[in-house]
Every structure is written in C-alpha cells, then in structure tokens.
Structure 1
Amino acid sequence: MQGQPLHWRMLAQRAGSEERRRLVRVARGEEQGDLLIRGAQVVQPATREVFEADVLVAGGRVAALGSGFQAARVVEARGAYLAPGFLDGHVHIESSLLTPAGFAAATLPRGTTGVVAEPHEVVNVLGPDGLAWMLEAGRTSGQRVWASAPSCVPASAFETGGARIDAGDTARLLALPGVLGLAEMMNYPGVLGGDPEVWAVLDAGRASGRRLDGHAAGVQGRDLQAYAAAGLHSDHEATTPEEARERLRAGLWLMVREGSAARNLQALLPVLRERPRRAMLVSDDVSVDELLELGHLDRLLRAGVAGGLHPADAVALVTCNPAEYWGLHDLGLVAPGYHADFVLLRDLQGFEVLETFVGGQEARPGTHTPPLAGGQVNLGPGWGAATFKVPPQWPVMVVSPDQITTGIGTPGSGDARLVVADRYGRGEWAACWTNGSGLRGATLGLSVLHDAHHAAFLGGTDEDVRAAGRALEALGGGAVVVAGGQVRAQLPLPYAGLMTDLPPAQAAAALTELTAVCRTHGCTLPYPVTTLSFLGLTVIPALKLTPRGLLDVAAWRYVP
C-alpha cells in the first residue's frame, strides 16, 4: 500500500479489519468457513512436529486447526501431509529462461507458492523498467512474487551492460510495493574498499529499513567480518562447512544454494544437521529443463531428508525461515491468521505434491505475460568481418560442471575458445581459451551472460561464431548451436533476450535439443547453456571474460 493516497490506505485497512473479524467468527464456530481440509497430517516446522488436524480456511487465510468444523467446501486429505507452501528466498526467475508465468507453471505443481525474485538480469538489460515489469508479470503469474532491488547494476566497474542503476534509482526501487529489500551486494571489493558509489547504494538500503542481501564469494576471515559489519544480512555463496559456519557466526543468515549452476547442498548438509537457527534453502539459478526433470524446492527437500535432516527441519528451511528473513509475517506456517498457502504431500521422503493451494484456492498458473519492449541483440556494424584472436600469453579459464567459479590453467592448455561480444551496439568483443567443456566443431551462442548479458559464444571457428551472432540478432536474443555455418538447434528468448513465453515443456524440449547437439560435438557439461551463462560474471573468481578483456577477479584487474 506504500505510495497509495491516504484515503485508499484507510479503506484497505478497514477491509483488512473486516476480514480479520470474520476470521475470528469462523474460528469460534459462529460462521461457516470457506474450505475445510479434513484428516491431514499437519507439518509444523515451528515446533518440529507432525500432528493430525483439520484445517479451516476463510477469506484466503487459515481460521483454525482442530476438529468439528463446518465449511462450504471439504477436501478429504485422507492422511496426506499438509505443509506450508514452499518459499524460495533467492531466485533469478530469468535464469530459468521462463517468464514469471512460465516459472509458476513449472513450480506451482512442485509446491512452490512464493518466490523472492532477484531481477537484476532484466534490470541490467532494461534498467528500472525491468523491475517494474517483473513485479507486474509476477502479479498475473498465479504465484506470489516479490522482488529485491538490484544493488549492482552493473555488477562491477568492469561490466558495461544495457543500464546503470545509481543510489537514487535504488532508493526509488526500494519504495515500490512488493520490493522487500536490497538485492545481493556482489561488489564486495567495493564494500571493503569504501567505493563511494557502492556505499551510497548501501546507505539507501539501510535507510529503507529493509533487508540487505549479501553475496560474498570466497570472502573469509577479517574481510568477512568487515563485510558483515557493513550491514549485510545474508550470504548464499558458502561452498564448504567451514565457510557456512563462519557466516553463521558472523550473524549472517545462511542461504544454502542448490541450482543448475552451483550445487552446495550436499557439502553443507553437515551444518544443516546442526540445526542452525538462521538458514534456508534457495535455488538461485535453475534452468527449465532441470525444473521439469528434477523439481524445484521439493528436490532440495528430498535431498535434505535423505541426507539426515528431520522432515520438519527440512520444511522449515523453505517455509517459515525464509518468511521470517524477508518479513513475510503471515506466511510460512499452517496456523491461524496465516495466508492459506499450503501443500498436500504424499509423504515426507519423496515430497510428492498432490495439490498446491494459494490463498485457499487450488493453485493455477497465469496465462498472461505483459509485453516487454527492448533488450534485443545488436553486435555492431563490424560483426560481419570480426575475427577472434586470443593473446597467446593469456591463462586458460578452467570451467567447472557444477560451480560458477572458474579455475586458472596454463596458456596453451585450452580445448574450446570463448568469445564475449557486447550486445548493445558498442562493437566490442574479446576471446580467451577455456578448458573443461569438451566442445569441439560447433559453437554454442547465448544472449544470457550474467550479469551484463552480452552475447557469449563457446567453441567453433570464426565463421561459426559470426553465424551464431547473426542468428541471435535475428531471434532478438536466445540460445543457438551452429556447426558448419548452419543453425542446428535454437531457443528464442524474445523477452529482453533472456526469457521465452513458450510453455515450460516446449522450452525444456528446445533446451534439451541444444544440449544434445552439444553432446554430439564432445561437450561434457551437464547443463552447457547454464554454465556458459556464468563465464562473464566479474564478481565470481577466478577468471571471467568481458567484451573488454580477461578479468582476474582475485587481482581485480584485467590480465595484461
């Protein structure tokens, strides 16, 4: 309601009061409820227990738990488990390659009723309009979608994307309804070094009184203490138990990440088994093919329980804990007064979802996505004659199949060339050698390159790289595989060059075909599109490539 005229706020408050009064009457048995879930095994993460109860709903909220209730509609749970709806406390919807409606279609059936989107992908391309679009698209998606205001656009001084957000922009974005806090502060060198622009953004975040999300890859020791002292509240970059415990001891909330590009859950399970008070599971970046094949937060719950977590503790990591962190005080529990967002589960091992409810209604994904203008691919007038030579003294970027960090190899040891080209018409590009993908004889081209979202090309001859670039321009953004000058597979991404409005199954099929063609050319990466999309992110060690050169992240300078 922030930003609405006073009389509108007063009317909304009065309506809210009436809804609450009715809820009290329904709970006392003075009025009939709207919905009754009868005979459920309620999962209560707040008390670490599971108990049998009927759940009464009125006006989209839980009125009471117990027995002997009356309601206009009854759903027989027949002993199924009733858990709070799952909340993803940190996710880049754009990384799924889907719009919010498509993401909801893929994840609502998996029990995800709400997400806190970090939309700095679309904001890096389109600026503040990208965040406004994400919130609007979220409202019609069928899922609860909140957002955090991007703090690093561009991610660092080494990136030049389609937009630049300063502290004044950040303050305005933080005031938008549906924005819960400042998004991940990736520029930790700027935080630690006192960069005035970075600190102006932090000041705007603190002035808002909202959460300040952290992002401190590889930061430890006194630097981590200093990073936390700057006012950050969380971190999702821990990859070892030692890093996780260090963050918890520094007062940071621990976000344990398990997505397509970085998988940290198995390594951090020993810490989660210690039952830390301030922890949650997040997906961060997960592609549509993996969403449909393996699941979303339900997959993380399966892995957590299989790894020794008590089911109620595992459920807390995707319900009441992220709700508490983000200040969503009416979500995260099946309890009186809370929104009736819950999931019926067959059991607490496989976490098979029988039905998902949002606001007391069976969840249905939206069918409308608002239009989004801009963000097309323009590689510049010199692209048709471009060549992509690698300086022979440059080290080789070593690519990992399951992490977004890269290693440093000796010159001459590469097996596939990487080209990164500015896609905003500046006519800049650079190339380096990589090792670890196995791709030969073909070029994988992509207009998704975190976070500036230039065009990236892995493997292939100069001719194939140029052909892949022309294909991306013609599509208005997307993913392509080119061999022998011909496009062998493609997925158009017309929404800012990042997202498709294809149904998830069609998008996943196109992505699977892209991966299969890469496989025929030797690629060994499980998710080559996702892996390629992170080879330009300048705030993740050790080497990353931008249109202006090869960046040594630890040294915080371009390789000469």
Structure 2
Amino acid sequence: MDLIKSRIDTYEESLKAARGEIPIDTVIQGASVLNVLTGDLLEGDVGIHKGFIVSLFAKKTQAHQRIDGGGKTVIPSFIDPHVHIESSMVLPTGYAEIVAANGTGTIFADPHEIVNVMGVAGFSLMLKNSKGLPLRMFFDASTCVPSKRGAETSGADIRSSDIRKMIEQGSKKLGELMSIEEIISGDPIMTEIVKTGWMLGIPRDAHFPMANLLGEAFGSLSFTQKLGVYSGFIGAKLLRLKRFNALPSKILVNKLRELDHRALDAYIVALGLTADHENYGPELQVKLDHGMRLMLSSHIFSIPEMLPLLVTSVNKSRYKDSIGICTDDIWPDELVKKGGMVGVVRGIVGQGVDPIDAVRFATLNNAQRLAQAGVREAALMGAVAPGLVADLVLVSGSLKKFKIDTVIHEGTVVAKNGKLLSSLPESVIPQNSQNTVKVSEISEETFVMRAPQSAQSGAVLTRILSLPPSPAMPFPELFEEEVPVKEGVLETQGYTIITVINRYGKQEKSPSKGLIKGFPLREGAVASTVAHDSHNLIVMGTTVSEMSLAANRVVEMKGGMVATKGEEIIASIALPVGGLMSAAHVEEISKSAEEFRHALEILGLDPKNPMFPFAIFSLPAVPGAKVTDLGLWDDEKKKLVPLFV
C-alpha cells in the first residue's frame, strides 16, 4: 500500500466510517488499548476500515469482521528505523517471515552491506525482494561505501550521483554516515553526499561512536572513582543486577561533559536533525545534551557490563521523546529466537526500562522523529489513533512479557502466535549477485608471515594488534614487539594470524597480514566474506594450513563463513548472494548459524558475539587499529602504517 495515496483515495469513505454511517471492515472488541501519546491504558473497541483506524471506543459498531480483544492489549506495530537485513544472512523475504510475525510493521533498512559489494545494483536487489510482503520495507540510500576511503577497498564507490539513483528508486533517507572525520573536515565527496540529502529533504542517519572519548573520561578519573565504576561493572555482571547505582554513571557523564565536543557539534551541524544508534553507556546523555536523537540497538546487549549505565541514563532522562529503538544487526539464529524488534523491547524491559516507555521508543518516537525529518509516510504510523494506518499488535497478558498474539498489517490479520498466515513470494536473485568472490589461487603460502629482506633471522620489530581489557572499550590497539624470525619467516606461536584478501579482483599486491596478541582463538581458523563493511575475505587462524583450508572453502561456496580445526571443516555457512546472504529458508540458515557459534566456542572464541572477530579487526570506520585489504590501519594516526617498524 502507498500510504499517502491510500489515505487520499479513501478520504471520503473513511469519514463516513468514522461517523458510523457505513459498516466498517473490522472491529477489535473489548481490548485494552495503549495510548502511546499519554501512556494510558483504556478499555474499548478499535475500528478499522480500508487499512486505517477510523474509530476508538465507539459503541455498537457495525463491522464485517470482529476480533476478540478480551485479555489482550492493542499496541502499534513496531517501526525499525535502522537495520541491516544482510546481517541476518537472508533476503528480505526470509527476514520478513520472522519479524512480521513478531510485530514489526515497518522497516527502514540500510543495505550498505550489499551496496559495498554490488553498488546501486545491490540496493535494487533488496528493493525488488521487498515487494508483496506483510510489512512495509523502505531502503536507505547507503552513503559511506567504502566506510573509509583510502583505508580499504570495497566492491563499489558511492558518490552523490549514486545517492540520487537510489532516491529515484524510492529511498526515504540517507543511511548511516560513518565517515566522521571526512564529514566534519569538509571532504568534497562526503560533503556532496550530505548536501544531496539536504537538497532532497530526506533524513540523514548518524553513526558517532564515542568510545575514544569514553576512554579519555575514564582515564581522567581518580583511583577511587575508577574503583567505583569497576565495582559497578563487576556487580552488574556477577549479581545480574537489573538496576544500577547511579553514582558511576553520573561520574562518567560529568567527566564526558567536561571534554571538548567540537567534533560532535560539527557532525550535528553537517547532518542536522539526526539519530544515532551507536550508544552503549553514559555517552547517551552527552549526545542528548547536544541535540541528537538516539536509538538503542540490539548491540547494547553485546556489552552487558555497560547495560546498567545505559539504562540508568535512559531512566533518568526527564523527557524520553528523543529515544528510539532499532535492531541494527541480528544474527539469523538470534532473529529466529528473539523476533527482531520485540527482542530488543523485551531486553530493555528486562533491564529495568518501563514497558510503556519501551513501546513508545519502538513506535511513536521512531515515527515522530522520521516524520519531523521528512518521511511523510511516518506521520501515519506509530500510534493507535484515528486516521493512522492500522498496523497493530495484540499482546497477551502482561506488557512486561510481550507475548505476541495477533499481528495486523494495514487492517489485515497477517500473523497469529508468531506464525504468518499466508505464504511469501519467491526471492528474485540476479546472476551477477552470485559471482562476487573474485579471488585468485589461495595456498598456504598466502598466509605465511615473511620477514623483510633486512631481517631474515633473529627478530624483527613488528606492529602487533591487541585488545584492551576494558569491556567498555573493546577496540584493537597497536603496540610494537620483537617477533622471532627463522629462515625469513616469523615465528607466530602465541599470536593469531590475520589476513585480508581483496575479493573484488581490484587488488594486485599481496594480501594484507597482521598479528594479534591475546586473542582467544586457541586453535584452528575462521574465514569469512562477511567482514564489515567492505566484506573482503578475512581469515584468522593459528596455522597456515587451517587458514588455507577455510579460505578455499569460502571461495568454493561463492562466499560465506567457514571454521576449521586441523584438517577438518567443522562448520560452514554458504552465502552465495553477494557473499552475504542465502536464499535458503531462514530456519535452515538459523541452524547453520547456531552450529557456527558452537564451532567458534570449540576454537576458543565467544559464541555469544560471533561477528566480533570479523568486524572489530576489519572496520576502519569505528575506533581502533584494523587490518584491511590495503594494509594495517593506525586509527590514532589516521593512516596506513607498515607491519614492520
């Protein structure tokens, strides 16, 4: 349904229905209705006609269909304002099968994963596969492709002319603007992209992590203050506290406020009214201070030590209209188990956020922010109110549990008890999307760490990656260390070898290599073409033979993820569509993802955060040192540096 056109086309008939002059399509009877504008729960009927709500609490309504709402609460369908569908490894059809059945009525997806691989053609692929689904899918015009020019190579290079092409195809907003330094310094390419958004009157989504400033604030604390913060971390983790002593959060917020935030100000000046999903703790309050809207994403649960600080900041906000919820990235097995947006809602409620606030964050706040920023359709969403689209969810029992009973989309019941009531269209997969892994022969030699000619024996001073111990700032750092050399080859025992290979046929030089110290990979290797955001082939391992086996299998599958141990492939996920997605059923991909988590655990990695090794060491748009297809990226110096000192 074209919401604006349908609203106009049904104008006269909707007025008659609202006045009670004609029988309406559907009435939900005897339900408790959540008014997200006031926070009140009121008993009564909800009248629906031609896909829109036409009455509330009316008496003796004539209707063709009656839905028993007894014992249930009617809430608006969830609006997901920021998601990368590709992270769930399925096409839009597979994604919709899960989230539509679990209460999501509208998605604003940033397809920058597949756009990094295929350019505007990737945007078109996602758009074509979003038709005929029981929810509304809009796709952002992906902006930062690659995420950081000069630091990496992706399959495309998006410019303002490409942005216009995506908007002409129906894009409603600019995707997350990750190139922070380029934006605030006035880089010509990014300036034109941002100005295109301004000229066309569409929202511009933010991406402004503050981990470096958070680290600076923490470093300036006294010993006693640090002890208080760490005690809070430990207490929250060991005791599973859902509420947190406000003191550590207040200390960090005050320290953060004392720092220089000119970069944040410049970024907001560039983007205007914007919302940021990179929020993990007390920095949330600082962004609100500077006029940013915020989104709490599914990633907040990946750093449980920070959750109490985040929830404290949320609950202490006097006005909560500027806080929304999104999913961002969800692995397929987690998608199936938790259902998308409803999983984030349940998660924050479980941490102490009021359920009615959580519903507002996932509905009204998202809709109002998008409408204010220029998305006309969003003005017709987000609440149970006359004149708005009838995207509704009937929740059984307590709102604290969010047990989804019935989902209504545009006035039609589309799901009951977590299952869709009708089949979905077949996915459309263009041939060019299945030939995106263009890598020449890979052998064990590809991964051998050879020393420079000047250091064929003894030891060589090498730049090494490591992870800091703080759970709040898990970003790689660089340090220098002498590494033993034997017959021209580095002795890599005690390190994890990381190699990044350009998979777009664009790189003539040897693959980039690095060493990681303290990484928990005990044995084996992992390889993946899912490596945010350029999605080159990343391989991490303890031996070159295991790395070669994993990498070659990924290439054979035309993309995906592989884990090896010894001479055996212990898990794999085939992702032939852009090296990121599969047309297989979502339940099948979910099972493969679960098996891959188990394989990571066997090798010593954290199964709860399976994308961590493939993103934290390869994405130069977020803080920390990286290895990209172009080499070793030093985030402090903002440039590529040699492996050997």
* TM-score between the two structures when normalised by the length of structure 2: 0.80
Uncovered stretches (5+) of structure 1, i.e. residues with no partner: 3-8
Report Cα offsets for 1:410-435 as digits up to 9, x if no partner: 45696422221111123542222235
Supply the distance in 1 between the matched residues of 2:194 and 2:296 (Cα, whole angstroms).
23
Is the counterpart of residue 422 in structure 1 residue 502 in structure 2?
Answer: yes
Q: Residue 232 of structure 2 corresponds to which residue in structure 1?
A: none
Is the counterpart of residue 317 in structure 1 residue 379 in structure 2?
Answer: no
Supply the distance in 2 between the matched residues of 1:407 and 1:344 (Cα, whole angstroms).
45
Is the counterpart of residue 251 in structure 1 residue 291 in structure 2?
Answer: yes
Q: Residue 11 of structure 2 corresponds to which residue in structure 1?
A: 20
On the 8 A contact 1:260/1:287 being kept in 2, the answer is: no
Q: Bigger shift: 446-455 or 61-70?
A: 61-70
Report Cα offsets for 1:351-370 as digits up to 9, x if no partner: 11111111112223624211
Supply the distance in 2 between the matched residues of 1:151 and 1:247 (Cα, whole angstroms).
22
Aligned with residue 409 of structure 2, among 358, 371, 384: 358
Shift of 1:174: 2.4
User: CA 1:121–1:41 in structure 2 vs 1: closer, same or farther (change >3 Å)?
Assistant: same
On the 8 A contact 2:294/2:322 being kept in 1, the answer is: yes
On the 8 A contact 2:512/2:627 being kept in 1, the answer is: yes
Supply the distance in 2 between the matched residues of 1:314 and 1:526 (Cα, whole angstroms).
24
Q: Which amino acid aligns with 1:493?
A: L
Q: CA RMSD in A?
A: 2.5
Q: How many residues align?
A: 549
Supply the distance in 2 between the matched residues of 1:519 and 1:448 (Cα, whole angstroms).
19
Which SS does the other structure have where 1:498 is aligned?
coil
Which SS does the other structure have where 1:395 is aligned?
strand
Report Cα offsets for 1:219-248 as digits up to 9, x if no partner: 76111111111134122223222x212211
Is the counterpart of residue 308 in structure 1 residue 315 in structure 2?
Answer: no
Supply the distance in 2 between the matched residues of 1:238 and 1:246 (Cα, whole angstroms).
10
Report Cα offsets for 1:15-36 as digits up to 9, x if no partner: 6534121111112111111111
Is the counterpart of residue 341 in structure 1 residue 391 in structure 2?
Answer: yes
Q: Bigger shift: 531-540 or 53-62?
A: 531-540
Which SS does the other structure have where 1:22 is aligned?
helix
Q: Which amino acid aligns with 2:52?
A: R
Report Cα offsets for 1:247-268 as digits up to 9, x if no partner: 1122211112223885565432
Q: Residue 200 of structure 2 corresponds to which residue in structure 1?
A: 208
On the 8 A contact 1:260/1:530 being kept in 2, the answer is: no
On the 8 A contact 2:525/2:547 being kept in 1, the answer is: yes
> 1:442-461 maps to which residues of 2 (within 5 A)?
442-461=524-543
On the 8 A contact 1:101/1:140 being kept in 2, the answer is: no
Aligned with residue 237 of structure 1, among 240, 263, 278: 278
Which SS does the other structure have where 1:518 is aligned?
helix
Supply the distance in 2 between the matched residues of 1:305 and 1:109 (Cα, whole angstroms).
20
User: CA 1:32–1:395 in structure 2 vs 1: closer, same or farther (change >3 Å)?
Assistant: same
Q: Which amino acid aligns with 1:50?
A: L
Q: Residue 434 of structure 1 corresponds to which residue in structure 2?
A: 516
User: CA 1:458–1:387 in structure 2 vs 1: closer, same or farther (change >3 Å)?
Assistant: closer
On the 8 A contact 1:101/1:142 being kept in 2, the answer is: no
Is the counterpart of residue 468 in structure 1 residue 532 in structure 2?
Answer: no
Q: Bigger shift: 157-166 or 135-144?
A: 135-144
Q: Which amino acid aligns with 1:368?
A: E
User: CA 1:249–1:37 in structure 2 vs 1: closer, same or farther (change >3 Å)?
Assistant: same
Supply the distance in 1 between the matched residues of 2:203 and 2:449 (Cα, whole angstroms).
45
Is the counterpart of residue 159 in structure 1 residue 152 in structure 2?
Answer: yes
Answer with 1 or 2: which has the greater Rg.
2
Aligned with residue 209 of structure 2, among 207, 217, 229: 217
Q: Residue 252 of structure 2 corresponds to which residue in structure 1?
A: none
Aligned with residue 123 of structure 1, among 96, 110, 115: 115
Q: Residue 509 of structure 1 corresponds to which residue in structure 2?
A: 591
Shift of 1:384: 6.6
On the 8 A contact 1:399/1:435 being kept in 2, the answer is: no
Supply the distance in 1 between the matched residues of 2:594 and 2:518 (Cα, whole angstroms).
20
Is the counterpart of residue 394 in structure 1 residue 463 in structure 2?
Answer: yes
User: CA 1:128–1:544 in structure 2 vs 1: closer, same or farther (change >3 Å)?
Assistant: same
Shift of 1:133: 1.6
Q: Bigger shift: 122-131 or 416-425?
A: 416-425
Q: Which amino acid aligns with 2:388?
A: Y
Which SS does the other structure have where 2:173 is aligned?
strand
Shift of 1:286: 1.1
* TM-score between the two structures when normalised by the length of structure 1: 0.92
Is the counterpart of residue 186 in structure 1 residue 178 in structure 2?
Answer: yes
On the 8 A contact 2:300/2:307 being kept in 1, the answer is: no
Q: Residue 109 of structure 1 corresponds to which residue in structure 2?
A: 101
Shift of 1:546: 0.2
